[in-house]
Structure formats: C-alpha cells, structure tokens
Chain A
C-alpha cells in the first residue's frame, strides 16, 4: 500500500438512468493530501464525493481507501467522514451532543466523552460552546461544529462538500486559511468539492477540474493556472484571451506559429504535441499583457484601441479592440501608482506587449 495511492479511484462510473453522472474516472490521491474536485454544478463532483462516502455505489469500477476495496462497505463502516454543504447539524441536539454523536456507540465514561468533545471545541476555537443549542449558532459556527463532528473519530479521509459556500466573502476567506492550517495540523487527507476556482487554487495541493462526469486535468494550482492543457480548463480557471493560430514550424522544441493579427509568435509547446500546419490556439492571461503608449522595444507587440475599462481598486481591467481579432483582448493591470486618475491612457492608439513566456499554446478543439 503506497502513500501515493492512499485513495485510488479506478475506472469508476455512476449512472442514474441515462445520466452518466460520473464517467470512467480514475484518480489517485496521496496520504495527507488536500485534494479538490472543481467544476460547475452538474459536473459529477458531488456524486464522486458521495461515492467516496458510501451514500452511492459505483455502477462500474472500484474505490480503494488505504488499500481496502470499498464496494461492499456501507457508509457507516467506512474510514471517512463528511462535512455536508448544509452542515446537517442535528437540530434536536446541542453542540456537545452533535460533536460527540459518533462517540455514543463507544459507550465512553462521561469524563472521557466530555474531554474528547472539549478537545475538538478547542481545535475549532469554540471553547465553552458545549451546551449551546444548535439554533443559537451562526453560519460560521455551524460550519465549525460540522467540522469537529466529522473529525472527532480521526477518519482516514475527510470529505467536504462545498462547506464554505453558505458563508459571506470575508468569513469564507478566513475559513479557507483556517481549514488549510487545520488540515496540516491533523494530517488527515481532505477531499474538497467546490465550484469556486479561486477557493480550489488557494487551498489545494492538487485540483481535478471536472466537466460532464469526467476530469479534464489533475494538477497543482500553479500548473492549472500557468499551463492548462485544454481550452476548457484555461477558460474555467481565471480569465484567458484566445487567438486562433496555425503552426508554421517546430525547431529545437520551439514552435513558431502564425497568429494572424498578432503576427508570427514563438512559444514552447509544454507537454502537448504539435505538427507542422496544425491549427492551434494561442492563450494569454490578461495580467501577462502590458499596455503602453509607445511601441515597446522588447517582446511581442500589437496595436489596439481601448474599448472599455473596469476599475477594481487594486487593479483595472481594460478591454482592447485589435484589428482582425473578434473578441476584445482583456488586459489586467495592477494599480501600482495613481496613473489611471489622469485618464490619458483611455484615448487613441495604445500598444499591447507580452513576452514569449506568457504564451500558452493549446490544441484547437
């Protein structure tokens, strides 16, 4: 049993009638990893989580947790616990009874029971909350209680179904950091489901981007953002500008492409394969493009006119019309100084500038 395959999902499909909610998925998750399933609603991420929990059973394939096949193990005997999207705090029980729910089967002496619950309350930073009724808790407190309840038996795997979705933005960002710190301190493998790409990138060791029951790419947050393998992933994670292109020649692992209005560009192909004459896609992140009034001396450049501007405080978004490019090019600039106040950049012709490194070369779909 290797630590690399602590959880091993092998060719798992789940069909509901004609709907293939999960379609031949194989993923290995390492011991102690913070692994996220990211995708839009209906992509199969929650079904996959419920398969891990044992609330659903695969139509095909097998799931192994710590070397043990799970297909004949019901939810109540699996070494996993879950934090539900709705938190599912038992409304008829108080905080202590909720957190200690799974300990009741052990028939512990009262002092030991209380000590264990107290330890969990310290962990989630709600000491003294034992006798609070469940309806006296705020959203964030409910989330913490749900977390403590799931962690008290030290499961091998903790499953989290969009646990931060119901919280407001500030609290969510705080809980993201806390949850990450908690995961490091308890050392339990976390499988985290979210549709919020920023959340997935912030918290995870690795992320599986899912769509229509399959995963598109499994990678570290950095690689998902900087080196997406397909248009769908590039589009789903952050914002991306796409330009149609055609491969001209491949020399020494460098690909020269004809990107139409952008001229000829040179890029590194990454792990994808290209051949001469092939149609391809040039992708550039908005923050990797700079705007200037004069023609830049280095790198690649193209002229354009600013169509629209959005001021976001720490940064501004510009939408630039370039002759021959159908969609306006998005550019994001950090507002390092207060130059935008003068408004001089908004009129007339400007230059867009980017380096070869900024280019992600993708296969055209």
Chain B
C-alpha cells in the first residue's frame, strides 16, 4: 500500500519538477550554441532555416583562431603543471606538518578564489606596467596560476587527507628517507588527485577571460579571440561553432577528471582496514 502514500508521492513530484526546471535553466541556454552552429543562417533566430557545416568549415579556415587556440593550449598546459606542483606541496604541508599559523596560511592561499576577477585583473595590470614586465602570454600565465593554484590545492588536500598518514610513517620506518617516501608512497597514492588537479587547472586557464583580457599583449588566448570576433555580426555563427567545440572538450575533460578522482577514492575505500 506504500505506493499510495500521498505525502511521499507529492513530495517526490514537487522535487522532480524542481529538478527538471533547474536542469533546464542551466542547460537549455547552453544548448543553443550547438543548435545554431548547425543552422543555415547568419541570424540567430527561430525558426531554423536548414542544416549546414559551413560555420565549422569557416572555423578551420581562420588563421587567427588557430594561433589563439595554440596559445591557450600551451598556456593551459604550463599553468596546469605549475599549479599542480604548487598545490601538491602546499597540500602536503598543511595536511602533514604542524606549521605555525596554519589557518591564516590556508586562508591566504584560498583568497584568490573569492577576489573578483576584474579586481585581480586591474591589480595585475598595474603591477605589470609598474615593473616594466610588459603584457604577454607570460603575464596571463601568472594571473592564471594565481587563480588555479587554490583549486589544485583543494583537490590535493582532499586526496592527501583521504589516506592513512601511517602509510608514510611506515615507509620511513622501513628505511626510506622523505624523498623516497614521497616517490614510493605519497605520489602513487596521490596520483588520482594529481591527474584531477591537472585537468581542472587546465580547464580553468583555458576558459578564463577577464584576467586574459587585462593582461594580454599582442598574443591572444582563445576567449579573447572569440570576444574580438563578436564585433563582426557575420562571424557570429562561426563563434557559435567554436563555442560548441569548446563546450564538448571541456565537458569531456572535466568528466574524465571527476571519474578518475572517484575511482581513486573507491580504490582507497576498498583497501581500507
């Protein structure tokens, strides 16, 4: 008789409706990108006029685009590696050692997460000009490193807290110095976190606009290139095609990162005492 329970039934119904509306709110606007990128018209309006791959063909023919794409990928890779290295060591410090002022240290490392990007952008721009550093991919990279390191650290802290500290002590007890302990125990156990952190940092750098906008010199990143294209109304469908591609790649990368991280957590739980 439980299936006739009116309270439970209506509760689930309301929750279900809410969930559907919520998901629609998030994903329907995003779905317009791939939808109109295949539409045979330069105007973004219903009704759809026909199917075409023209915009994707134009995409492949844009030399500026290719250059921006390569810049973004290079930048993303360098930022991902550096942020993950910094994040890993910071996470090891705060989870494994009794450091004085641990609380404030963590707060200051996490602060870039909550500083508005536009403020950070202006501040970095002023410094870049004051020091005569000049604007280039390098300055964008510094900005990206600032915002992605806290994420890398968060991922690594949760990973390092997830496994028994006695494992590292056991390695030391069995004769390994701290360096050997790191490579034989900490690193292999932290690897899922490291992979997740690399992918996450890469995505953050690849998608980032505001800092890049303030700090870009003559070389641009992909988001900046897209923004520039919006000045030409006829280029809009091409931008949509590009957006659809980025959407797909980001989705795949983040899903993989999350899957890999969870797999690591599961491995750990299975082998727990």
Q: Show the binding face of A for B, using Cβ within 8 Å.
A: 53-55, 74-77, 80-82, 84-92, 101-102, 104-105, 133-135, 139, 142, 149-150, 153, 166
Residue B268 lies at the interface, judged by CB distance under 8 Å to chain A = yes
Complex: A164 Cα to B207 Cα, angstroms:
53
In chain B, residues 112-130, which have Cβ atoms closer than 8 Å to a Cβ of chain A?
none
- Say yes or no: A135-B171 contact (C-beta < 8 A), given A88-B166, A92-B188: no
- Say yes or no: A87-B273 contact (C-beta < 8 A), given A92-B188, A92-B189: yes
Name the one of B176, B270, B273 contacting A76, with C-beta atoms under 8 angstroms. B176
Instruction: Identify which of A55, A90, A133 gathers the most chain B CB atoms within 10 Å of its CB.
Output: A90
Asked if residues A91 and B267 are in contact (CB atoms below 8 Å), the reply is yes
Name the one of B170, B188, B267 contacting A88, with C-beta atoms under 8 angstroms. B170
Asked if residues B271 and A91 are in contact (CB atoms below 8 Å), the reply is yes
- The binding surface of chain A is classed by DSSP as mixed
In chain B, residues 216-273, which have Cβ atoms closer than 8 Å to a Cβ of chain A?
267-268, 270-273
Asked if residues A166 and B273 are in contact (CB atoms below 8 Å), the reply is yes
Closest CB of chain A to B106's CB: distance in Å? 20
Asked if residues B173 and A90 are in contact (CB atoms below 8 Å), the reply is no
Residue B164 lies at the interface, judged by CB distance under 8 Å to chain A = yes
In the A-B complex, the 8 residue pairs with the closest CB atoms:
A91-B271, A135-B271, A102-B174, A88-B166, A88-B170, A84-B166, A75-B172, A92-B188
- Say yes or no: A90-B172 contact (C-beta < 8 A), given A135-B270, A135-B271, A166-B273: no
Asked if residues B171 and A101 are in contact (CB atoms below 8 Å), the reply is yes
Instruction: Identify which of B167, B170, B174, B185 gathers the most chain A CB atoms within 10 Å of its CB.
Output: B174
Known: A81-B174, A102-B175. 17 other contacts (CB 8 A): A54-B173, A74-B172, A76-B173, A76-B175, A76-B176, A76-B177, A80-B173, A81-B173, A85-B166, A88-B170, A91-B271, A101-B184, A105-B175, A105-B180, A134-B271, A149-B174, A153-B174
Q: Which A residues touch B271, using CB under 8 A?
A: 89, 91, 133-135
Which residue of A has the minimal Cβ distance to B168?
Answer: A88
Query: Interface residue tally of chain B, by bracket?
Result: 20 to 34
A-B contact count (CB 8 A): 72
Interface readout for B184-201 with A: 1 if CB under 8 Å, 0 if not?
110011000000000000
Asked if residues A84 and B174 are in contact (CB atoms below 8 Å), the reply is no
14 A-B pairs within 8 Å (CB atoms) are namely A54-B173, A76-B172, A76-B176, A82-B173, A84-B170, A88-B170, A91-B267, A91-B272, A92-B188, A102-B175, A105-B175, A135-B270, A139-B273, A149-B174
Closest CB of chain B to A112's CB: distance in Å? 17
Complex: A87 Cα to B270 Cα, angstroms:
15
- Say yes or no: A82-B170 contact (C-beta < 8 A), given A76-B175, A91-B268, A102-B175: yes
In chain B, residues 147-184, which have Cβ atoms closer than 8 Å to a Cβ of chain A?
163-164, 166-167, 169-177, 180, 184
Complex: A74 Cα to B169 Cα, angstroms:
12
Q: Which B residues touch A166, using CB under 8 A?
A: 273
Which residue of A has the minimal Cβ distance to B177?
Answer: A76
Q: Show the binding face of B for A, using Cβ within 8 Å.
A: 163-164, 166-167, 169-177, 180, 184-185, 188-189, 267-268, 270-273
Asked if residues A88 and B169 are in contact (CB atoms below 8 Å), the reply is yes
Q: Which B residues touch A53, using CB under 8 A?
A: 169, 173
Complex: A118 Cα to B176 Cα, angstroms:
22
Asked if residues B167 and A105 are in contact (CB atoms below 8 Å), the reply is no
Complex: A85 Cα to B164 Cα, angstroms:
11
Complex: A77 Cα to B271 Cα, angstroms:
29
Q: Which A residues touch B176, using CB under 8 A?
A: 76, 105
Asked if residues A91 and B170 are in contact (CB atoms below 8 Å), the reply is no
Q: Which B residues touch A134, using CB under 8 A?
A: 271
Which residue of A has the minimal Cβ distance to B170?
Answer: A88
- Say yes or no: A75-B169 contact (C-beta < 8 A), given A90-B185, A102-B174: yes
Asked if residues A86 and B164 are in contact (CB atoms below 8 Å), the reply is yes
Closest CB of chain B to A105's CB: distance in Å? 6
Asked if residues A91 and B169 are in contact (CB atoms below 8 Å), the reply is no
Which residue of B has the minimal Cβ distance to A139?
Answer: B273
Asked if residues B170 and A153 are in contact (CB atoms below 8 Å), the reply is no
Asked if residues A90 and B167 are in contact (CB atoms below 8 Å), the reply is yes
Which residue of A has the minimal Cβ distance to B181?
Answer: A76
Closest CB of chain A to B177's CB: distance in Å? 6
Q: Which A residues touch B166, using CB under 8 A?
A: 84-86, 88
Closest CB of chain B to A84's CB: distance in Å? 5
Complex: A139 Cα to B271 Cα, angstroms:
11
Q: Which B residues touch A102, using CB under 8 A?
A: 174-175
Q: Which B residues touch A142, using CB under 8 A?
A: 273
Q: Which B residues touch A55, using CB under 8 A?
A: 169, 172-173
Closest CB of chain B to A244's CB: distance in Å? 47
Which residue of B has the minimal Cβ distance to A78?
Answer: B173
Which residue of B has the minimal Cβ distance to A85?
Answer: B166
Asked if residues B169 and A84 are in contact (CB atoms below 8 Å), the reply is yes
Closest CB of chain B to A120's CB: distance in Å? 13
Closest CB of chain A to B212's CB: distance in Å? 39
Which residue of A has the minimal Cβ distance to B98?
Answer: A16
Closest CB of chain B to A78's CB: distance in Å? 8
Which residue of A has the minimal Cβ distance to B174?
Answer: A102
Complex: A135 Cα to B266 Cα, angstroms:
12
Which residue of A has the minimal Cβ distance to B273?
Answer: A86
Name the one of B180, B184, B189 contacting A91, with C-beta atoms under 8 angstroms. B189
